[in-house]
Structure 1
Amino acid sequence: MAMQRRFAVAHEDVFPKGAFLKGEVEPVADFNGPKREDGSRPQQLDKDTGLPLWQVVVLDADEEAGKKDTAVTVKIAAKFQPVPPANKTPFPWTPIEFVGLTALPYVDDNGTRPRLAWSYKADDLCEPGKADVPTSARPDAGSAAA
């Protein structure tokens, strides 16, 4: 079998020490689409599913992650804005786990030297350890699968 462009990866393989939500779930702006009357951009749609794209920035807790890899953006294709789990920690960052995580390697040539970089997309996000629980049965339900 030939390697497909985007391939499935386990959350714990990408974030072995955990991922922490930094900020909010935001729509991905479509910079190729026409501006609206108010000057804003429409929301980008996923090329594979046609669903609206959302994005989150997560902090990778792995001490071995390089400085360019500490904050990672993950896109989520979902009809409705995904709802992150409640933050039950005393810290400002919410621990999360991605469901249906995929990766796409590419060459980032924006710096002084080209480097291998990764684009991540997920089906949903949830509380760590709850990825195997059906969305409708999770306490943080109401997210992407609605």
Structure 2
Amino acid sequence: MSLKNAWLRPAHDEMFENGAVLLGQIEPLAEFSSDRNAPKRQRLDLDDEGRGTGKLLWKGTVADPTGMGAKNSTFDVVFVADVMPVPSAQPVLPGVTPVRLEGLQVKPKIVGNGEYKSIGWNVRATGFEGDTSGSKQPPADVPASRPARDGKAVA
């Protein structure tokens, strides 16, 4: 059994006992290109052999307010979803939004250089609890939720 691609699946409360906050916004995760003039392409959830979901990858920074030190309190979370996940809660401060992650997956990795190495974490999620953006399921009734161009509701 190979543990190279083994992901642990903790519940949100196991990893963030006192909650978590999103710092800033969710952004598309771009593919690396050695040609800086090439258009940016959003990465897909596929490995080198073509295995994965094929869904788009998004990136956001999530902080644990009770974490000790900068290394243990913020995580770059990769979201695997067809559309950009949107937190359901309102920001408590500009750029600081309380969140609960769904579909949480973590995998340990070695971080640091030389003799100053430590264990870090790759963190993935499928979205936010209460998200209605359509990242986890299609929006309920799209025409009814958007007014027509002339300001009247669509029937």
The match for 1:54 among 54, 58, 62 is: 58
Structure 2-normalised TM-score?
Answer: 0.73
Whether the 8 Å contact between 1:56 and 1:73 is mirrored in structure 2 is yes
CA shift, 1:41, in A, is 2.3
Match of residue 85 from structure 1: 88
CA shift, 1:2, in A, is 7.6
CA shift, 1:6, in A, is 0.8
Match of residue 26 from structure 1: 27
Name the SS for the 1:61 alignment partner. Answer: coil
Match of residue 71 from structure 1: 74
The amino acid that maps onto 1:59 is A
Whether the 8 Å contact between 1:34 and 1:42 is mirrored in structure 2 is no
* 1:60-84 residue CA offsets vs partner (Å, 9 max, x unmatched): 111x433212221111111111112
Structure 1-normalised TM-score?
Answer: 0.77
The amino acid that maps onto 1:52 is L
Match of residue 131 from structure 1: none
Whether the 8 Å contact between 2:104 and 2:125 is mirrored in structure 1 is yes
Supply the distance in 1 between the matched residues of 2:73 and 2:113 (Cα, whole angstroms): 17
Match of residue 129 from structure 1: none
Is residue 143 of structure 2 the alignment partner of residue 141 of structure 1? no
Task: Among all aligned residue pairs of Structure 1 and Structure 2, give the percentage whose two residues are the same amino acid.
Answer: 32
CA shift, 1:35, in A, is 5.0
Q: CA RMSD in A?
A: 2.4
Is residue 15 of structure 2 the alignment partner of residue 14 of structure 1? yes
The amino acid that maps onto 1:17 is N
Indicate the larger mover: 39-48 or 12-21: 39-48
* 1:64-122 residue CA offsets vs partner (Å, 9 max, x unmatched): 43321222111111111111224163x23110000010001011134751111101101
The amino acid that maps onto 2:65 is A
Gaps of 5+ in 1: 127-137
